[in-house]
Amino acid sequence: MRRERRRHNVSYIKKFFDFCGEKERKQFYFSIFLGVFHALFVAMRIPAVFVVVKAILEGGLSKQTAYSAAGIICASIVLQTLVSLKTTMLQTRGGYHTSSIKRMEIAEHLRYVPMGYFNTEGLGKVTSIATNTMDNLAGIATRCVMVVTKGIITTLVIIASMFFFKAEIALVALATMAVYLLGTELMIRAESKTSDKATTAQDTMVSRILEYVRGIAEVRNFNLFGRSITSVDDSIDAFTTYSTHLETTYEIAMFLLSSLNKISGVVMMLMSIAFYLNGSMSLVYAVMMMICSFMIFESLDQVGAFNGLTRTIENCVDKANEALSSPTMDIDGKNITPENMTLTVRNVDFSYDTKKIIDNVSFEIPEKTTAAFVGPSGGGKTTITQLLARFWDIDKGQIHLGGTDIREYSYDSLMKNFAFVFQNVYLFNDTIENNIRFGKPDASREEVIQAAKAACCHDFITALPDGYDTVIGEGGASLSGGERQRISIARAIMKNAPIIILDEATANVDPENENLLMQAVASLTREKTVIMIAHRLKTVENADQIFVIDRGKIVQHGRHTELMNEDGIYKRFIGERKEAAGWKISSRA
């Protein structure tokens, strides 16, 4: 890491080029090539001004000379503007296309990482990479490349032209440029640790804000404003502190470097006067050196204004590469169509990091049967169902679908066989039709309506102002819990997968919606292999087999009537549910 921080800032830009796609990289290289012509067009003003100044000092400025010089200067400005416009468009397009492509690559890559990645890294960090990091890369990187490369090339061209007038003064200008660039390099090194901390603080801040917004209902319910806001405020304060330190360091460094430019300009002017007075340089050359001293350091100031941001480019590229290099499961299996939908689990172990969650579990769920998982919270029920669909890779044992290990399937061909209905439904900020069509992207409007009718949600959809074209907002916040569940079921019906996994799908539904929801579930699960996690008696009592999970193990297994004859967790579980269902508030007359 230390070696990385000692690289020259130009290598940061190269690192960004390597990060870009081939097409975008060519756009940046071509823009730098055009930057040479931009510098030459800027330098065209020097001979034009030289001719005018020489003529004035010699008392012989003619109209033809004045018009010719003015024409050259105008042509210089026009050509410089056209080239600048073209380079800006090339680099802007390259930067934003790179950001867009990398966002899609990250999204595609994250499809295949184990679900534990999101527990470890946190939603805030992933969100920050996809939003802030990519925005910074598109904006800051583009401007850095454009201004720094153009400024350096322009400065070098002007210095080269100064050698034709007086080599000693040109060498002073060249030394000033070297010291200036060295100063920005030292500034980047000094800021590197703080820059890393600021980036980490930004990720933490985004995570805290997301956590606060998502949990706002609980914050209000338990009056946790002080504690929650303190956590958010602390993350904001940390980010503010590091950002302020970065800006302060940057401003002080830029003040010193800008002062160096001005002092160097004064030195160059004094040298020009001295050379003129001792007769080693003509007056017109002395005047031209003074003009060049102003032109050269204007370009350098622009370089310095953005050179300090090149470290940000590396941070952005590193964070994006970190997401893209996160370990994925082996997804390059075969496109297999299973002979049947029987699921077989043999001696499976699974751990989150070092914490064992599933311990030597074995069972079989025959095709077109219903299996229910019940047991205490945190026992591993949801984890087992997710292992079946390979949300994670198991540590030990085997899981077979249709007699083939699920790790032999390509991930996409495996997922075609599963449809999920979760307790907490997520709907996208889109129309209801598109949310249902998510289960089958090429479905027609008629197919969407048929799925909605089967899921018992057609009536409430048509009652909405725009019907199926109603935009429901992120997360489906404008719909009730039961309505969201039924749309989720419609989406699963649309997918028509042979295996349905219901994870507490009816847990949070009010009595008015329960009957409709159960009808929707019946439509979804007809002639399917059904795996459910449920706490309601009516949901599990008709299952073909029930697995009682406690502390990652199957502690009971059988049908409802068989388990009720055993003294164990299931019997107590059912007794508690019956007692809760029969409980009511009594009143005295």
Q: Which residues pair with 355 in a beta bridge?
A: 352
Does residue 344 carry a pLDDT above 90? yes
Where do we find the tokens 């003015």?
Answer: 70
Mark whether 351 and 302 lie in a shared domain: no
Mark whether 234 and 367 lie in a shared domain: no
Mark whether 266 and 179 lie in a shared domain: yes
- Alpha carbon 497 to its chain's center: 30
Q: For residue 40, tell me if it sits in a domain.
A: yes
Mark whether 288 and 352 lie in a shared domain: no
Q: What is the pLDDT of residues 15-71, one digit of tens each?
A: 788 888 888 888 888 888 888 888 888 878 878 888 888 888 777 777 888 888 888
Q: What gap in Å lies between CA 150 and CA 153, rounded to an integer?
A: 5
Q: CATH code at 23?
A: 1.20.1560.10
Amino acid identity, residue 287?
A: V
Q: Please, which residues have CB within 8 angstroms of residue 442's CB and are 6 or more apart in sequence? A: none
Q: For residue 499, tell me if it sits in a domain.
A: no
Amino acid identity, residue 218?
A: E
Mark whether 231 and 357 lie in a shared domain: no
Lookup: tokens for 434: 């598109």
Q: For residue 30, tell me if it sits in a domain.
A: yes
Q: What gap in Å lies between CA 87 and CA 136, rounded to an integer?
A: 19
For 263-280, what is the mean pLDDT?
Answer: 88
Mark whether 199 and 347 lie in a shared domain: no
Listed residue (437, 426, 486, 494) closest to 461, CA to CA: 486
Tell me whether residue 487 is exposed, middle or buried, using C-beta atoms within 10 angstroms of its C-beta: 0 to 12, 13 to 18, 19 or more.
buried
Q: For residue 163, tell me if it sits in a domain.
A: yes
Mark whether 271 and 357 lie in a shared domain: no
Three-state DSSP class for residue 283? helix
Mark whether 129 and 193 lie in a shared domain: yes
Q: CATH code at 397?
A: 3.40.50.300
Residue at which a domain ends, from 324, 350, 378: 324
Query: Other CB atoms closer than 10 Å to residue 355's CB: what's the count?
Result: 7
Q: What is the pLDDT of residues 372-386, one digit of tens each?
A: 898 888 888 888 988
Q: Which residues pair with 550 in a beta bridge?
A: 553
Does residue 202 carry a pLDDT above 60? yes
Residue at which a domain ends, from 324, 348, 379: 324
Residue at which a domain ends, from 264, 295, 324: 324
Task: Report residue 272: phi and psi, to 5°.
Answer: -65, -45
Q: What is the pLDDT of residues 77-90, one digit of tens each?
A: 899 889 888 888 88
Q: Please, which residues have CB within 8 angstroms of residue 197's CB and are 6 or more apart in sequence? A: 242
Mark whether 59 and 200 lie in a shared domain: yes
> What are the helix (H) ranges across 129-224?
134-136, 142-162, 167-214, 216-221
Over its C-alpha atoms, the chain yields an Rg (Å, rounded) of 35
Q: What gap in Å lies between CA 581 and CA 579, rounded to an integer?
A: 5
Does residue 401 carry a pLDDT above 90? yes
Tell me whether residue 202 is exposed, middle or buried, using C-beta atoms within 10 angstroms of its C-beta: 0 to 12, 13 to 18, 19 or more.
buried
Does residue 166 carry a pLDDT above 60? yes
Mark whether 297 and 408 lie in a shared domain: no
Q: For residue 362, tell me if it sits in a domain.
A: yes
Q: Please, which residues have CB within 8 angstroms of residue 364's CB and are 6 or more apart in sequence? A: 342, 343, 344, 345
Mark whether 237 and 350 lie in a shared domain: no
Question: With pLDDT > 90 as the criterion, what percentage of the chain qualifies?
Answer: 9
| Number of structural domains the chain divides into | 2
> What is the pLDDT at residue 347?
94
Query: Other CB atoms closer than 10 Å to residue 530's CB: what's the count?
Result: 21
Domain that holds residue 562: 340-417+531-583
Higher pLDDT, residue 427 or 367: 367
Contact 284, 238 (CB under 8 A): no
Does residue 1 carry a pLDDT above 50? no
Q: For residue 510, tell me if it sits in a domain.
A: no
Average pLDDT, the chain: 80
Q: For residue 290, tell me if it sits in a domain.
A: yes
DSSP-assigned letters across all residues of 221-243: HTT-HHHHHHHHHHHHHHHHHHH
Q: For residue 521, tell me if it sits in a domain.
A: no
Q: What is the pLDDT of residues 142-162, one digit of tens each?
A: 777 777 777 788 888 888 888
Lookup: tokens for 163: 């050698």
For 313-331, what is the mean pLDDT?
Answer: 79
Query: Other CB atoms closer than 10 Å to residue 422's CB: what's the count?
Result: 15
Q: What gap in Å lies between CA 99 and CA 19, rounded to an integer?
A: 10
Q: What is the pLDDT of residues 449-485, one digit of tens each?
A: 988 888 888 888 999 888 989 888 766 667 777 788 8
> What is the pLDDT at residue 425?
76
Mark whether 246 and 372 lie in a shared domain: no
> What is the pLDDT at residue 352?
79
Q: How many CA atoms, within 13 angstroms, populate the side-chain half-sphere of residue 413?
A: 17
